[in-house]
Amino acid sequence: MATRALFLERIRREVEKGGEFFPAVTASRPAHPSDAAELVKRQMAERWPEALDRFKVEFERVAGVFHRVAGWGDVPDVIVEIAREKAARSVVAWDESALGLDLRPRLEAEGLSVAVGGTGAGDENARRRHREDSARALIGVTGADFVLAETGTLILLSGRGRPRTTSLLPDAHIAVFDRTRLVESLAQVGILLEALHEDPTRAMSGAMINLITGPSRTADIELTLTRGVHGPKDVHAIFVGMP
């Protein structure tokens, strides 16, 4: 096997030989990512209604189902309705601290079993149990850390109380968010990602970020578009907030 030193030394020599094909620069990064991210948030505090309209259009274009409720207390009703349509008996959800609400009282009253991706470190057994619950659940409920309007995309950070598989293993994924999560452009997402990594020990606890744009899809058999090949067949977005 090559060693790091030899491998990189060889590349360095080639790089020096190669010189410049043309004068080129990388994308200019924000000098102070956290400040730039604050600015994005301030801008969006004004512009979120337009962003929400655009999100709805783009999300529906990629076959997402958009819901809007007045307050957090109304969210479980939507979930119960979706569960009824799918004849689902079990739900897996992010922890209350990551989701913004505890679904259990209302959902369990409807006879649904709710598995929660808890915040405890979790031993091997807890992990196995949670995985089995997630693989069995027909519905997975998560938050969304950023919601990107121009592409209809839900952006989820994994971490404590926010398992990466909640939005992946169940047949239907439901993401719940309010106006503070909305952004307009991929360029803004770039800034927010820079800020997240400026001090990742503080900003994020997990190892994965997923940008989710509609349901799982394939066109690998004679170009026929088919949904839910591995991941969710249906993706729902529940926006919490009055106009």
Partner 1 sequence: MSEVRFPERAATALKDRFLQEALTIATTKFIDLRKESFAGFPDGETLRDRARSIKEATLQKLHVHLGQLADNVERLGGHVHWATTGAEACDIILGLCRDRGVRMVVKSKSMATEEIDLNEALEHSGVTPVETDLGEYIIQLAHERPSHIIAPAIHKTKGQVADLISDVAGRRLPADPEALTAAARIHLRQKFLEADMGITGANFAVAETGTVVLVTNEGNGRMVTSLPRIHVALMGIEKVIPSMTDLAVFLAILARSATGQKLSSYTTLVRGPRQPGELDGPEEFHLILLDNGRAQQIAGPLREALYCLRCGACLNVCPVYRQIGGHAYGYTYPGPIGILLTAMLRGEESVKDLAHASSLCGACKDVCPVRIDIPRMLVDLRQHLDEHKIAPRAERLVFSLLRRVLTSPATFRMSAAAGRLLQRPFARNGRLTGLPFLFSRWTQARDLPPVAKKTFHERWKDLR
Subset of 149-188 contacting partner 1 (CB under 8 A) = 150-153, 158-161, 163-165, 168, 186-187
Is the CB of 36 or the CB of 80 nearer to partner 1?
36
Candidate residues 79, 191, 238, 240; the one interacting with partner 1 per rule CB under 8 A: 191
Give least dist CB 92 to partner 1, A. 11
First to last CA, the chain: 61
Site for partner 1 in 67-106 (CB under 8 A): none
- Using CA atoms, how far apart are residues 210 and 208, in angstroms rounded to an integer? 7
Is the CB of 67 or the CB of 173 nearer to partner 1?
173
Is the CB of 72 or the CB of 165 nearer to partner 1?
165
Q: Give how far the C-alpha of residue 230 lies from the chain's centroid of Cα atoms, to the nearest Å.
A: 17
The letter for the amino acid at 180 is T
In the sheet with 146-148, reading across from the earlier edge strand, the strands are 153-157, 146-148, 182-183
> Which structure tokens are listed for 195?
């800020």
In the sheet with 65-69, reading across from the earlier edge strand, the strands are 65-69, 234-240, 172-178, 139-143, 90-94, 113-117
Site for partner 1 in 205-234 (CB under 8 A): 205-224, 226, 228-232
Give least dist CB 100 to partner 1, A. 19
In sequence order, which residues have a C-beta less than 8 Å from that of residue 116 and are 6 or more positions away?
A: 92, 93, 94, 95, 96, 104
Site for partner 1 in 114-133 (CB under 8 A): 117-119, 121-122, 126-127, 130-131
Q: Give how far the C-alpha of residue 6 lies from the chain's centroid of Cα atoms, to the nearest Å.
A: 40
Is the CB of 228 or the CB of 241 nearer to partner 1?
228
- Determine, following the binding rule CB under 8 A, whether residue 200 of this chain makes contact with partner 1: yes
- Determine, following the binding rule CB under 8 A, whether residue 18 of this chain makes contact with partner 1: yes
Candidate residues 17, 31, 87, 202; the one interacting with partner 1 per rule CB under 8 A: 17
